[in-house]
Every structure is written in C-alpha cells, then in structure tokens.
C-alpha cells in the first residue's frame, strides 16, 4: 500500500509494481497526508525507467518520435521550458466504458499501462506536465512524480464518469506537475468551468510560475472540455469562461500564457476560433509543424469503437505568441506506427497522443502585443 512508501529501499517495486486497492479518493488522501513528499527519498529517473522497462519487457518497444526544430534565429542564453500535454486515458474508462474494440483487455492492465505512461514521461523529461483523465493521481502520479522533483496539483471532476464504473479508483480529473528546481509557484487557481451561467463537470488548473533562471513570470493552464458531438455550444461557453479567467489571471496578457488541454474540439469548432481570436494573442504550437504554419496536425487521437473509427485533432498547446517562441515540437506518430488496430495498444497506453513543445521567452514581449 502507498503508506509503506516512506521506507528507504534501493528498488522501486513497492512504489511501481503495486497500486492501492480500489477505494474512495478520500482514503488515498488520508493515507498520503501521513506522508510529506519532501521527506520521501528522491527517485533517480534512470532507476524508475529501468523499473518500467523490466515490467514492460514482454511488450513491444516504445515508438520512436523525433523533435522538429522550429527555432527562428533568436538567440537565447537560457534553457528552454519543455511542456508536455497528454490525455492519458482514465483507467476506469479504458477498461469499463470506452469500448476500444480492437484493443485487447490485456493491453489495458494498469500494472503495465502505468509503466508505458511513465516511460513516455521519463523519455521526454518535461519541465511542466499537464495531464487529463487522471484517476490514479494519489496512488501513482503524485507519489512518484513528487519524488522526481515535481510539485503536483490535482483537480477532479465533480461528477466523474469513472465513478459509474465498478471497482473504480476514484474520480478522474486534470493534473499539473512542474519541476521545483526550475520554477516557483506564485499563484494557483482551480477553476470549475461554467456554461450559460451553470457550473459544469469540466475543470481547469491555472498556475502562475516564476522561472528561477530568468526571473520571468508566466501562467500555465490545463483543461479538459466536454466531449461528444452535439455539445459544440457547450464547449464554446466553457472556452469563453476559461479565457475570461485566464485574462484576469494574466492581467490581460501582461503575463505570458501557455494553455494545454484536450478540448474535444476540431479546429473547425467555435471554441477553437475563440482561442485563436482571443485578445490574449494565442497561437496553437502544433500548427507550426505544418508546411505553412497554419494547419493543425491531421490527428491527435485515433481509435476504433463499436460505432466505427474515430480520427480527430482535439488536443492543443496554446501559447502567447508575442511573449514566447516555440523552439521545437515533438512529431506525432505516423499511421504505420499506430497500426491497423489504432490506439490504445500494447505499444501505446492512451487513445490520445502526447504533445511536447520547448518554449523560450521572447526578448521583447510587448513589441507584438
């Protein structure tokens, strides 16, 4: 159980190879409140990666993805800020509700799937990690990532669909992690999104961080908007509410902003246009991978359900284009890599692809505003 994590062990099996038995999140919290993350032994990322690879030795190797250099001739003496966005697929939904008809149930086993997720995170070493559909925060991500040096925040959905699944692990929600050695937390806001003046089941986290190296402030936000066809106006209203909150937090774009999320919206939707045309002067980082810099990728999620095959672009990393530069972005998996059974699979743990970008501060942030 998680409460045994405080002892000093050279190996990580007590943390990695076991998860809490099913139960309410409050039980996880009660257990973890007895532990101060700062008092737990730090983990060497290489050791954790080795543990993951031992668990995954019967699975195919992780897909190779390469970063695309997007840097213009702008000199910067500072290390870029690597941001990772990922809907990791809630375990309860993957096993109990999502009906991935081409994905064997064995591929969804949490004991192994969590290692695929951790392997992906460890491979790209983000300074900031933004996740959606996290339902194993208290027994997996918070204990492990805090010991890797991250400060961790979780905001569950009020009426998570995970709770409808038998033997669930508590509600899913958004989670944010940042490296304490690189940033200082200045302000944090948990936002329950509204639509038509009604509180909804969708949430966001927005944190203002100070970069130790540059002394610059910036805001990072993570969200997950309402899913499904027919809810376009609802998503639009949620997006407007989030933008208004972010305008207040960033003092009308005076503080640079990065917004990560599964928007559940194609680029043709109104909520996408709202973010594109916002007074916050946001651009979508993954557009920069296209030849003209104006087109989103052809897909960020690809799955097969009983109703048919679904290939959509729903995930985005938005950024203040007047204040931040995108130095590079991680290329997406090809159709050949994904394979005919699509996602998730024995190779890849989620139905959504991770997005990773390296950002640097513009030297003259007010010039283009």
Range in 67-71, 182-186, 255-259, 312-316 the model is least confident about: 67-71
* Backbone phi, psi, residue 146, to 5°: -65, -35
CATH code: domain 85-364 is 3.60.10.10
The 10 Å Cβ neighbour count of residue 179 is: 19
- Residue-wise pLDDT for 268-297, tens only, equals 999 999 999 999 999 999 999 999 999 999
Report the C-alpha gap between 205 and 146 in whole angstroms.
18
Mean pLDDT score of the chain: 90
Element (DSSP H or E) covering residue 86: strand 81-87
How many residues are given for the chain?
A: 369
Report the C-alpha gap between 198 and 7 in whole angstroms.
46
- Residue-wise pLDDT for 108-149, tens only, equals 999 999 999 999 999 999 999 999 999 999 999 999 999 999
Split at pLDDT 50, 70, 90, the class of 366 is: low
Helix-helix angle 45-55:110-124, to 10 degrees: 140
**Which residues share a beta bridge with 187?**
208
Burial state string for 128-148 with b = 16 or more CB within 10 A and e = fewer than 16: bbbbbbbbbbbbbbbbbbbbb
Split at pLDDT 50, 70, 90, the class of 8 is: very low
Q: Where are the chain's structural domains?
A: 85-364
Report the C-alpha gap between 26 and 271 in whole angstroms.
34
Statement: the pTM of the whole predicted model exceeds 0.75: yes
The two three-digit tokens of residue 81, written as one number: 């800020």
């Amino acid at each position: 159980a998680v409460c045994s994590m405080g002892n000093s062990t050279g190996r990580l099996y007590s943390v990695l190879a076991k998860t809490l038995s099913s139960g309410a999140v409050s039980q996880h919290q009660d257990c973890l409140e007895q532990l101060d993350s700062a008092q737990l032994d730090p983990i060497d990322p290489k050791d954790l990666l080795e543990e993951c690879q031992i668990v995954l030795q019967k699975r195919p190797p992780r897909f190779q993805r390469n970063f695309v250099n997007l840097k213009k001739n702008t000199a910067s003496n500072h290390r870029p800020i690597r941001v990772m966005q990922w809907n990791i697929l809630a375990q309860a939904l993957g096993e109990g509700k999502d009906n991935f008809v081409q994905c064997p149930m064995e591929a969804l086993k949490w004991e192994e799937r969590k290692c695929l997720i951790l392997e992906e995170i460890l491979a790209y070493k983000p300074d900031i990690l933004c996740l959606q559909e996290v339902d194993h925060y208290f027994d997996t991500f918070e204990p492990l990532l805090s010991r890797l040096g991250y400060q961790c925040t979780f905001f569950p959905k009020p009426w998570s669909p995970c709770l409808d699944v038998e033997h669930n692990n508590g509600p899913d929600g958004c989670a944010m992690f940042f490296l304490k050695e690189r940033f200082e937390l200045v302000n944090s806001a948990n936002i329950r999104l509204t639509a038509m003046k009604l509180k909804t089941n969708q949430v966001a986290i927005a944190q203002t961080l100070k970069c130790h190296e540059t002394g610059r402030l910036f805001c990072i936000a993570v969200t997950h908007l309402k899913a499904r066809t027919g809810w376009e106006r609802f998503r639009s209203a949620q997006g407007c509410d989030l933008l208004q909150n972010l305008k207040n937090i960033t003092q009308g774009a005076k503080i640079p902003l990065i917004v990560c999320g599964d928007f559940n919206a194609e680029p043709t939707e109104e909520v996408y246009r709202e973010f594109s045309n916002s007074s916050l002067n946001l651009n979508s980082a993954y557009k920069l991978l296209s030849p003209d810099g104006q087109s989103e990728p052809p897909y960020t999620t690809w799955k097969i359900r009983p109703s048919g095959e679904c290939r959509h672009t729903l995930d985005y990393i938005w950024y203040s284009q007047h204040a931040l530069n995108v130095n590079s972005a991680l290329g997406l998996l090809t159709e050949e890599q994904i394979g005919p059974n699509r996602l998730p699979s024995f190779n890849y743990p989620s139905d959504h692809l991770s997005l990773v970008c390296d950002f640097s501060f513009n030297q003259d942030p007010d010039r283009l505003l």
